[in-house]
Amino acid sequence: MSVEPSVSHSPDTSDALARDAGPEVLISNLLRAGVVVSLTLVTFGMSLTFFHHRDYFSSAQALQRLTAPERGPHALAEVLADAMNARGQAFVMVGLLVLMATPVLRVALSLLAFSRQRDRAFVTVTSVVLTLLLLSFLLGRVE
Amino acid sequence: MDLAMGLPLKVSTATSNFMIGVTAAASAGVYFARGDIDPFIAGPVCAGVVLGALTGSRFLTKVKSSWLRGLFVVVLLGVAFQMLRKGVSP
């Protein structure tokens, strides 16, 4: 975005600057919050699992079962239902989902920022990126 | 980016990391929908990567670029050697 050279420091330009700084800070805070929330959920879920199954600490066989190659949870409803039953695994999964959603939300937020700045080219590029991201989420599921 | 486009090392590091993040988000959703994500493998990796990224981004602004480049070369050499060894004797 080009900043028009202004003769005096009118309240208009300082407003424009504040609006410019706004989205950047917002995006930074979003990324930070997403990462911290995800880290908290993952750590909480892992501790919950090890709290429920003390035998993971002592027996290597039980620990093998934990990472056995079975299909992981793959439906949002399933993950949420498990979280309601205080399954540690579900909390880990929710944390991972938050981490996956963070960059997508970041793209959506920058689309909002670009459209507020009326930056036509970047709005086009960002909406294409966002559409492709959402498409990959929708088309990815099998069955 | 560093060699071909002449960008500063720190700028290219941050940019490539960001792009990897966005493109990885696209495939992560697909893996989740197919049930290919094991929470107890991805979870510890996630915790480690996030903690490493937080400390890394904090130190990035303070560390000298030349030192960073040297460290990166060492890490790449280590990974390359590991891959070569695994490729030769599985």
Residues of chain A with Cβ-Cβ distance to B37 below 8 Å are 72, 74, 93, 96
Query: Looking at the complex, does the CB of residue A45 fall below 8 Å from at least one CB of chain B?
Result: yes
Model confidence pLDDT, tens digit, residues A80-104 = 777 777 677 788 888 888 888 888 8
Give the tokens for residue B65: 């670029």
Q: Is A128 on the interface with B (CB under 8 A)?
A: no
Q: Say whether pTM exceeds 0.80.
A: no
Tell me the per-residue pLDDT of B60-76, one tens digit each, with 9 for 90 and over: 888 888 888 888 899 99
Q: Residue B46 and residue A45: Cβ atoms within 8 Å?
A: no
Give yes or no for a contact between B43 and A95, defined as CB atoms under 8 angstroms apart. Answer: yes
A34-76 residue pLDDT tens? 989 999 998 988 888 888 777 766 666 666 666 666 666 667 7
For A6, the token pair is: 């202004």
A114: left (phi over 0), alpha (psi -120 to 50) or beta: alpha
| Lookup: tokens for B22 | 């966005």
